[in-house]
């Protein structure tokens, strides 16, 4: 629960902060995606072919085209796996004493979750340091907090409130970039 007065001005400030955080994290994800695609021309070619086949002769990608692009979704997931926007998730506090990995964690302990390390864990990911979008083809792993080996947006009540907006805007930007430019 927040310990502040939720006046109109406070609500506007909170919403503005969330909006600005979303813009910065979306831009960072687009940059990482394009960097990985430039380093992996085969993946870039495959994505461009998919986007251009789906879009056809239209002047730009439309939002309804995005759902027809499975390669785009794989590239996006792989980028988030390797380059999570927030490598350390928001701090959590334990509500009770728990045992994790053989360690006793007392109640009311601040815990930081290292998403970057989790998403590069060799016991969950084959060749975890490599950019391999195909690992997500026909793979039910998602990033909405159900699969704890892939948590770029966090999990539970503390997951990213802008998840849907971020996913839609980043996928749209990437699709338009690879559609319009070689």
Detail the residues annotated as belonging to a binding site for heme: 160
Could you count the other beta carbons within 10 Å of the beta carbon of residue 87?
14
Compute the distance between CA of residue 177 and CA of residue 171 in angstroms, rounded to an integer. 10
Q: Phi/psi at 131 (nearest 5 deg)?
A: -85, 105
- Three-state SS for 44-73 is HHHHHHHHHHHHCCCCCCCHHHHCCCHHHH
What is the C-alpha radius of gyration for the chain, rounded to an integer number of angstroms? Answer: 19
């Amino acid at each position: 629960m927040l310990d502040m007065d939720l006046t109109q001005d406070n609500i506007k400030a909170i919403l503005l902060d969330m909006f600005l955080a979303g813009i910065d994290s979306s831009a960072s994800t687009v940059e990482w995606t394009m960097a990985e695609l430039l380093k992996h021309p085969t993946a870039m070619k495959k994505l461009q072919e998919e986007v251009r086949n789906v879009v056809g002769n239209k002047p730009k990608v439309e939002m309804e085209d995005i759902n027809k692009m499975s390669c785009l979704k794989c590239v996006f997931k792989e980028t988030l796996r390797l380059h999570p926007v927030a490598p350390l998730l928001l701090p959590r506090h334990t509500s009770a004493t728990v045992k994790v990995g053989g360690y006793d964690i007392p109640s009311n302990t601040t815990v930081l979750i290292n998403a970057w390390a989790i998403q590069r864990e060799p016991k969950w990911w084959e060749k975890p340091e490599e950019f391999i979008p195909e690992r997500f083809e026909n793979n039910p792993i998602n990033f909405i907090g159900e699969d704890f080996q892939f948590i770029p947006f966090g999990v539970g009540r503390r997951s990213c409130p802008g998840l849907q907006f971020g996913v839609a805007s980043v996928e749209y930007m990437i699709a338009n970039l690879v559609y319009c430019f070689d």
